[in-house]
Amino acid sequence: ASGGRGTSNIYYGLNERQELEYSFTVGMSRIHRETERWNATLFLEMERKAVPMYHLMVAAIEGIEAGDPQKALSANSHLKAIFKYFFDNLTDSNISRELWMAYVQGPHGWVLEEIDGVSGGQSLVIRSVDAFLGIRPFPTPEVEALHLPLPQRIWLDALREYDIRAVARAINAKEVVTELEAMVKHLSPQVWRMGHMQRMVAYEGVPRPERQKMTTGKSLVNIAPDENAMVEHLKNQLALRLMQTR
């Protein structure tokens, strides 16, 4: 997309010293710089913590194919740790609610008309879990191609095509089905998605009268650029995904 993507803007934005190579807040106060750095760090560290889980997803599929479904029983603990890291660190002391929209998310989210910019909904770890668990509907290839590089799309398509929950049910692997359903519960209203909604509404609702649109999974081009419309749009998008998380 014209505004970049999470991989280019965030995952590859930090150098070995954990400093942003390309910053929107150069010359601004420490809290401006820390808000931007933590915004990138939060998503990057979630991906680092997800790498063992990605390996276990592959091992789970290989195990079922090899007649050893017990290998599918280990990924859940990693998912819990990833979500805990997110909620523990998405705080006003790390990411300022007052500054985040104007100085951090805004420049990522404001792009060409009719094209969504970078948003947290494009996080690879969340899309991977959704794909692994077969939570529908899947994004269209055209939209996903705007925001994810080809290797990530190939990975997600492989998980979706296999549909491990359907396979586990078909072979009556009861322990595997139970563990996979536990992963679904961690995406459910009681855990990730409702918690994410409650945290992000506080950030999205900050008054920014100059903004034209902001992205939370779908464009806001045709929505009035006021805070109430922004927050309602975010709530509606997350509520829809809550209903789809089954």
Q: Where are the domains of the chain?
A: 6-244
Tokens, residue 56: 């276990």
The per-residue pLDDT for 72 is: 61
Report yes or no: 236 and 223 within 8 Å, Cβ to Cβ: no
**Long-range contacts formed by 121-127: CB under 8 A, 24+ apart:** 121/216, 121/217, 121/237, 122/5, 122/6, 122/147, 122/148, 123/6, 123/43, 123/46, 124/6, 124/7, 124/47, 124/50, 124/148, 124/152, 125/46, 125/47, 125/50, 125/53, 125/82, 126/192, 127/156
Model confidence, pTM: 0.79
Which listed CATH number (1.20.58.480, 3.30.160.250, 1.10.150.120, 1.10.10.10) goes with 6-244?
1.20.58.480
Q: pLDDT at position 226, please?
A: 52
Burial class (CB within 10 angstroms; exposed 0-12, middle 13-18, buried 19+) of 238: buried
Q: pLDDT 10s digit of each residue in the chain, 246 long?
A: 556 778 888 888 888 888 888 898 999 999 999 999 999 999 999 999 999 999 999 999 998 888 877 766 677 788 888 988 988 999 999 999 999 888 888 777 665 566 666 777 788 998 999 899 998 888 889 888 888 999 999 999 999 999 999 999 999 988 888 888 888 877 654 456 556 666 667 777 676 554 544 444 444 445 544 555 555 655 566 556 545 555
Torsion of CA 233, 239, 244, 246, to 10 degrees: 160
d(CA 1, CA 127) in angstroms, rounded, equals 18
Q: What is the pLDDT of residue 193?
A: 59
**Cis preceding-peptide flag for 137 (omega within 30 of 0):** yes
- What is the model's pLDDT at position 117? 66
Position 121 scores a pLDDT of 75
